Amino acid sequence: MKPRKIKDKIYWMGFIDWDNRLFDSLIPLPDGTSYNSFLIEGSEKTVLIDTVESHLAGELLAQLENVSKLDYLVSLHSEQDHSGSIPQILARYPDAKLITSPKAKGLLKDLLHVPEESFITVSDGETLSLGDKTLEFIHTPWVHWPETMVAYLKEDKILFSCDFFGSHIATTDLYVTDEARVYEAAKRYYAEIMMPFRKVIKKNLEKITSYDISIIAPSHGPMYPRPEFIIDAHRDWIDGPLKNLVVLPYISMHNSTKKMVDFFIASLAEKGVSVERFNLAVTDIGKLAITLVDAGTIVIGTPTILAGPHPNVVYGAFLANALRPKAQFLSIIGSYGWGGKTVEILAGMIPNLKVEIIEPVLAKGLPSEDDFKALENLAETIAAKHKEKGFK
């Protein structure tokens, strides 16, 4: 794709990755993604903000075909989907200086072997004159790596935010046209990589909203012509109230756990509690992550195998612990054959979750009447706790 004009002397470049279905060999990409770069031609200096994956460097270099001189290459974030082509860009423009935060310098030297002499590091709030345009660099650490920063183009009121406010969507739309679609994709993106850092992201959010922003230009997905849409969404995801919702990731091997899950979901629904159920054998982990953003309670369903929880459940619990959702309650349900330490193992896997553990329900083999009664009580307890907390 050729460069696309955003405003006078400001262009989108990069790559729309329609076919990629798995990011970092971990994160599902149901709608592909994009790696956005931005070229700004000031009256005196020309700058490129961010690059693309290393194997896509040829695409970016072709878009730069008519750019004879590049004065600066800005790296807002060192992860390779944005930094990967830095060596190739610097090879084409050997006089260009690479502008980074001080922390990014060390990372890029390690990750890409960028030579010391290429770097200029910028402090928080430092500005760079391009002649008739001015870039201000704002340090926004831990969005989602320690070195991340954003850049504000003062005259045009554009905030180049890299991963911050990103969404994994492959689209020819330069700007958001369907906010509902982008809301879901951006929430998924926030849940998958930003949620663990929400406390520091909250501070960064307040920091950047003191700027007069007309457009937010992230390095994944379309740009936001109505910045308050995505800023308000982030405020809600970070700090908003929890929902009267149970997220229920589970596995069943011989249907006993599934019978318990089915009964339990019906019981919660009767008591006015919503449930999102995820079969970990087949689920899209991104959808599970979205639900974890604001669910009040997590209930894990698992059979016992090899004396502990099913390996897929271990994976789900590991992810939930790493993502640090806001949930306040957690319980475990499931079935076992002759013994094991399922509850102890799972409880030990979630130290990051600041939850009250509600008494688990484990059935020996096929669930009995007593087990169903215990599930009914568990549903009653959760409904009462949600009501007490005012979850809506």
Residues that bind ligand FEO (CB under 6 A): 77, 79, 81-82, 144, 163, 220
Instruction: Compute the distance between CA of residue 30 and CA of residue 19 in angstroms, rounded to an integer.
Output: 9
Residue closer to ligand FEO by CB (options 265, 289) is: 289
Residue closer to ligand FEO by CB (options 220, 386) is: 220
Closest distance between ligand FEO and the C-beta of residue 145, in Å?
Answer: 6
Residue closer to ligand FEO by CB (options 144, 187) is: 144
Triad 356, 362, 367: Cα angle to 5°: 140
Nearest CA-CA partner of 252 in 267, 262, 244, 265: 262
Closest distance between ligand FEO and the C-beta of residue 97, in Å?
Answer: 22
Residue closer to ligand FEO by CB (options 77, 139) is: 77
Instruction: Compute the distance between CA of residue 331 and CA of residue 358 in angstroms, rounded to an integer.
Output: 5
Residue closer to ligand FEO by CB (options 105, 220) is: 220
- Structure token pair of residue 354: 């600041």
Closest distance between ligand FEO and the C-beta of residue 144, in Å?
Answer: 6
Nearest CA-CA partner of 347 in 338, 356, 339: 356
Sheet holding 97-100, edge to edge: 4-7, 10-17, 33-41, 46-49, 72-74, 97-100, 119-121
Strands 72-74 and 46-49: parallel
**Coil/strand/helix, residue 354:** coil
Q: In Å, how far are 56, 94, 331 from 86, measured between CA atoms? A: 11, 11, 47
- In sequence order, what are the residues at sequence separation of 6 or more whose Cβ sits closer than 8 angstroms to the Cβ of residue 355? 298, 327, 328, 329, 330
Closest distance between ligand FEO and the C-beta of residue 146, in Å?
Answer: 12
Residue closer to ligand FEO by CB (options 79, 371) is: 79
Instruction: Compute the distance between CA of residue 375 and CA of residue 9 in angstroms, rounded to an integer.
Output: 63
Phi-psi domain of 334 (left: phi exceeds 0; alpha: psi -120 through 50; beta: other): left
- In sequence order, what are the residues at sequence separation of 6 or more whose Cβ sits closer than 8 angstroms to the Cβ of residue 61? 85, 88, 89, 92
Residue closer to ligand FEO by CB (options 79, 376) is: 79
Using Cβ positions, the residue closest to ligand FEO within the complex turns out to be 79
Closest distance between ligand FEO and the C-beta of residue 33, in Å?
Answer: 8
Residue closer to ligand FEO by CB (options 163, 184) is: 163
